[in-house]
Amino acid sequence: MQAEFDYDLLVIGAGSGGVRAARTAAARGARVAIAEDRYLGGTCVNVGCVPKKLYAYASHFRDSFDDAAGYGWHLPDTPTFDWPTLRDNKSGEIKRLNGIYQRLLENAGVTLYNARATLKDAHTVSMSSAKGESEVSAAKILLATGGWPWVPDFPGSDLAVTSNEVFDLDTFPQRFLVLGGGYIAVEFASIFNGLGSETHLIYRRELFLRGFDDEVRAFTRDEMKKKGVNLHFDTNIERIERGDDGLNVTLTNGDTLTVDTVLVATGRRANVSGLGIEALGIELDDSGKIPVNERFETSVPSILALGDLIDSPELTPAAIAEAMQIVEHHFGETTPEPLDYERVPTAVFCQPNIGTVGLTEEAARERFANIRVYRTDFKPMKHTLSGSSERMLMKLVVDDESDVVVGAHIVGEEAGELIQNVGIAVRAGLTKADFDRTLGVHPTGSEELVTMREPSRT
Ligand code: NDP
């Protein structure tokens, strides 16, 4: 690389994608720096996947306490939940992870700038921190600043919190409301419902989780309702006002609700504010993302971008995979195969979990002349004695002509764990006959995936 620059690679943003790119490029011998003005680990570690999963674990205990009675366990008193304990234990764990990220970067020989970085030109960034201003140059600059919660404009929207704040609320919301029908909304509705809040979810259309398999959406709706989440569909927030007894939320259907906390989970936008891309002529596309080519180069070839900044799934493993691709393209010797964004396994950690990979039934019907759908829903064995009415859904979508399983969908306990494994089979393009030839693991819920013989519909 050219010695005329301070570094071979300068990464802006130390989230999952940025850190992975910095470390792997350094391991290839590149001189690498990374700039971050917030926390190490980005959204996932600090205000996303990690604390969310810890809170999801916390929220599952309530059902477990209820389930235990049928198995002969009697808890002495009604269990109580202490929010500050969960919140502060979570913060301790995140601090530990921040330290691990710092050590990973240091051990990889990456220079860390605790500074706000702004692009000056195609190879120069100005760094601003409490210590002052400086300029740093690099042959390649990687934008990895991720996403930021987006809040629609309505009266009182400033009284709501976003996923940036919800993990650290001072007091536990006895009455909780979330706006939105995506991943974050359903996950937090399940979390606060499980922790004991009276919980409301407001979604503007008929059924939440748009883009997921329709049967999965309806099944999840029914299961969440059974667990006590109040679902308000076909409505939106008109305004929020502070009242004597909490926040008064008026919905567009005329209903009013009084709650302690309103979480707005209406999507995230590319976090480019103050980055200086406009001055360099890098423009956002219609979906608010930075266009890149197959080498992840923006319209300025020395400036690269990944993760939530570009048009790819807003998922940590996607950003990490993109980071590895970038390093291979720009600091490696081979040209990597393009990433397959179609068969990405993903989980929604609502209660019960959703795990999904590949095509929905609706998308498969559009793509293939004929399909077969195998589906079953059943009461998991655990709930024969627990008395819980929770059910589990398993579904395989098969292209009739090739017999390839093009989609798999699971709703139920640990669906997030299960779908990772089914994802390998779907990614590998295995056929329904391959699934059928695999013996089940007995007794498990997932053996249904290899024992569904007759199509439910074609
Ligand atoms: P999503 O894009 O998933 O969902 C946004 C929701 O907000 C949609 O239901 C959308 O409705 C609704 N919405 C958008 N604009 C408005 C508006 N003006 N008024 C009312 N409702 C509106 O975003 P999230 O914030 O839930 O999550 C962001 C991303 O983070 C996700 O896409 C996901 O990739 C990632 N994530 C992944 C997780 C995981 O892997 N488990 C967990 C959490 C987040 P409509 O359907 O009508 O557009």
Judgement on whether residues 140 and 163 belong to the same structural domain of the protein:
no
Is there a single domain that holds both residue 120 and residue 254?
A: no
Statement to judge: residues 351 and 291 lie in one domain: no
User: 127 with 136: CB under 8 angstroms?
Assistant: yes
Measured distance CA(446)–CA(418) in Å, rounded: 8
Q: Are 201 and 229 in contact (CB under 8 A)?
A: yes
- Provide the residue range defining the domain that includes 135: 7-148+269-331
For residues 389-397, average pLDDT: 98
CB neighbourhood size of 366 (10 A): 9
How many other CB atoms are there within 10 angstroms of residue 152's CB atom? 14
The answer to whether position 394 is within a domain reads yes
Indicate whether residue 266 lines ligand 1 (CB < 6 A): yes
So what's the pLDDT on residue 78?
85
Residue 338 counted as domain residue:
no
Mean pLDDT, rounded, for 434-457: 97
Confidence of residue 344 (pLDDT cuts 50, 70, 90): very high
Compute CA distances 445 → 113, 258, 359, 434, 450, whole Å. Answer: 49, 40, 22, 19, 10
CATH number for the domain spanning 389: value is 3.30.390.30
Residue 353 and residue 228 share a domain: no
Residues 319 and 357 both lie in one domain: no
pLDDT digits (tens, 9 = 90+) for 420-432: 999 999 999 999 9
427 occurs within a structural domain:
yes
Ligand 1 centroid, distance to 183 Cα (angstroms): 6
Cβ 184 under 6 angstroms from ligand 1: yes
> Looking at residue 285, what is its pLDDT?
97
Domain match, 247 and 389 both: no
Q: What is the CATH number of the domain that holds 135?
A: 3.50.50.60
The total domain count for the chain is 3
Reported as a pLDDT band with limits 50, 70 and 90, residue 229 is very high
The mean pLDDT value of the chain amounts to 97
Tell the residue nearest (CA) to atom 46 of ligand 1: 210
Report if residue 458 sits inside a domain. no
Is 280 found in the same domain as 143?
A: yes
Asked if the model's pLDDT at residue 366 lies above 80, the reply is yes
State residue 391's pLDDT score. Answer: 98
2 part of a folded domain: no
119 CB-near residues (< 8 Å, 6+ apart): 125, 141, 275, 276, 277, 279, 280, 303
> Is residue 7 classed as helix, strand or coil in its secondary structure?
strand
Mention every residue, 6+ apart, whose C-beta is less than 8 A from residue 171: 83, 260
Give pLDDT, residue 1. Answer: 54
DSSP result, 207-231: SSSTTS-HHHHHHHHHHHHHTT-EE
The CA–CA distances, whole Å, from 424 to 20, 167, 447 equal: 23, 33, 16
Q: Tell me the CA–centroid distance for residue 218 and ligand 1, in Å.
A: 17
Clarify whether residues 229 and 180 are in a common domain.
Answer: yes
> Which of 266, 269, 351 for mutating ligand 1's site (highest number of atoms within 8 Å of CB)?
266
- Residue 340 resides in a domain: no
Pair 137, 273 in one domain: yes
Answer yes or no: do 17 and 127 share one domain.
Answer: yes
Res. 224: pLDDT tops 60: yes
| 1 found inside a domain | no
> Which whole number is the average pLDDT over 254-267?
98
The one-letter amino acid at 395: K
pLDDT in tens, 16-45: 999 999 999 999 999 999 999 999 999 999
Ligand 1 close to Cβ of residue 5 (< 6 A): no
pLDDT score at 272: 97
User: Is the pLDDT assigned to residue 216 strictly greater than 90?
Assistant: yes
CA-based end-to-end distance of the chain: 57
User: CA 281 to CA 269: how far, in whole Å?
Assistant: 19
Please state, for a pLDDT cut of 90, what percent of the chain lies above it: 98
**Mean pLDDT within 388-406:** 98
Confidence of residue 2 (pLDDT cuts 50, 70, 90): low
To the query of whether residue 442 is one of the catalytic residues in this protein, the response is yes
Distance 209 CA to ligand 1 centre (A): 8
CA-based max dimension of the chain: 73
Say if residue 320 is in the same domain as residue 384. no
**Is residue 277 domain-shared with residue 240, that is, in the same domain?**
no
35 lines ligand 1 (CB under 6 A): no
Q: Is 162 in the pocket of ligand 1 (CB under 6 A)?
A: no
Give the residue from 219, 239, 266 where a domain finishes: 266
Cis preceding linkage at 352, omega within 30: yes
Q: Is the CB of 267 under 6 A from ligand 1?
A: yes
User: pLDDT tens, 177-197?
Assistant: 999 999 999 999 999 999 999
Calculate the alpha carbon distances from 162 to 179, 189, 267, 372 in Å. 10, 13, 10, 41
Does 457 fall in a domain? Answer: no
Total Cβ atoms within 10 A of residue 108: 16
Distance between Cα 204 and ligand 1 center (Å): 12
